[in-house]
Amino acid sequence: MKLITPFSEMLGIEYPIVQGGMMWVGRAELAAAVSNAGGLGILTALTQPSPDDLRREIERCREMTDKPFGVNLTILPSVNPPPYAEYRKAIIDSGITIVETAGHNPREHVEDFKSHGIKVIHKCTAVRHGVSAQKMGVDAISIDGFECAGHPGEDDIPGLILIPAAADKISIPMIASGGFGDGRGLVAALALGAQGINMGTRFCATKEAPIHDNIKQLLVDHDERDTNLIFRSLRNTGRVAKNAVSNEVVEILKDPKAEFEDVAHLVKGADGRTALETGKVDAGLVWAGQVQGLIHDIPSCDELIQRIVSEAVALIKERLPVTVN
């Protein structure tokens, strides 16, 4: 059984389900498992220490799957930015055909990817950003609602509004991200105007996710209330799982005079990696969305995707509680 939309047709995948790029998590084990299950797995470029390491990770993923997979390249403002152009070249040279871009001003990257025949999915948190990306020439939009893990932007618009608002102005294929974890969400996204879903947190709680079992169990044990919004006062809002570290960050930043330097020692990316890899849940930030409230088990990626598709098909065909006369 396949569930086909213009988005899935464009990328040559069986189901319109995408595993989002996630720092420290988007590795070959997970990306290959998602792709083998009929979705689109995505490697996270900047998880790899160097462009050459990315080349090796791409080859490692190819050894695990013969299905389409992509690479995420997130461009963030930084005092000492990574060599984005070199990572981009590694992606192009490795023959990748699908890229997920995100972050600040991706034009030069999008133009280069497109000139090499690569399909580009750009992740946005606002309708206006989606419209700009469409004008830039990307092939698809991933629209992130306020429920999502990571950086949801500063507009605080949940998916129920953001998805149809974007669908009204976006003519290229669009998928929905933030709060998706089951067949009900997939059907809702399709009804709201998307052509598929992007899941990050839900794929973290799978057998193949390359993170510690304690973190996976944390996601199962948490409910929809167990996230913190950090950096609100700094206009760089991030949604993370509640733990001792994120609770402390929130408390410190309640002081209107507080600055980033006051919490910098708590939010280091290396500490978040330590938490994910060692299972010490309070070692650093754990990025997770409100979809934690819909996560009740730790299946394989294949089990999860088949369940989502089966639920969605059953809802579409049989279970929606409505009679049309």
Strands (E) located in 109-232: 119-124, 140-144, 174-177, 197-199, 227-230
Indicate if the pLDDT at residue 33 is higher than 70. yes
Going along the chain from its start, the domains and CATH numbers come out as 6-208+300-319 (3.20.20.70), 213-290 (no CATH)
In this predicted structure, what is the pLDDT of residue 50? 98
Q: Is the pLDDT score of 56 beyond 80?
A: yes
At residue 260, the pLDDT reads: 95
- Tokens standing for 244? 């001792």
Distance CA 70, CA 79 (A): 28
- Taking residues 100-122, report their average pLDDT: 96
What pLDDT, on a 0 to 100 scale, did the predictor assign at position 323? 66
Question: pLDDT tier at 320 (50, 70, 90 boundaries)?
Answer: confident
In angstroms, what CA-CA distances link 248 with 53, 70, 135, 283? Answer: 35, 36, 41, 12
Mean pLDDT within 63-76: 97
* Sequence-distant (≥ 6) Cβ neighbours of residue 174 within 8 angstroms: 7, 130, 140, 141, 142, 143, 163, 166, 167, 193, 194, 195
Would the pLDDT of 290 be above 70? yes
Q: Are 200 and 260 in contact (CB under 8 A)?
A: no
Q: How many CB atoms lie within 10 A of CB 296?
A: 12
- Indicate if the pLDDT at residue 281 is higher than 80: yes
> pLDDT over 90 for what percent of the chain?
94
pLDDT at residue 77 greater than cutoff 90: no
For residue 210, with 0-12 CB atoms within 10 Å meaning exposed, 13-18 middle and 19 or more buried, which class applies?
middle
Average pLDDT, the chain: 96
Residue 129's pLDDT is what? 96
Over residues 166-206, the pLDDT tens digits come to 999 999 999 999 999 999 999 999 999 999 999 999 999 99
Query: Which residues face 230 on adjacent strands?
Result: 238
If you average pLDDT over residues 208-216, what whole number do you get?
Answer: 98
Write the pLDDT tens digit of every residue in 8-25: 999 999 999 999 999 999
Token pair for 40: 């689109």
The arithmetic mean of pLDDT across residues 116-144, rounded, is: 97
Short-list 295, 290, 293, CA closest to 147: 290
The whole-number average pLDDT for the span 199-221 is 98
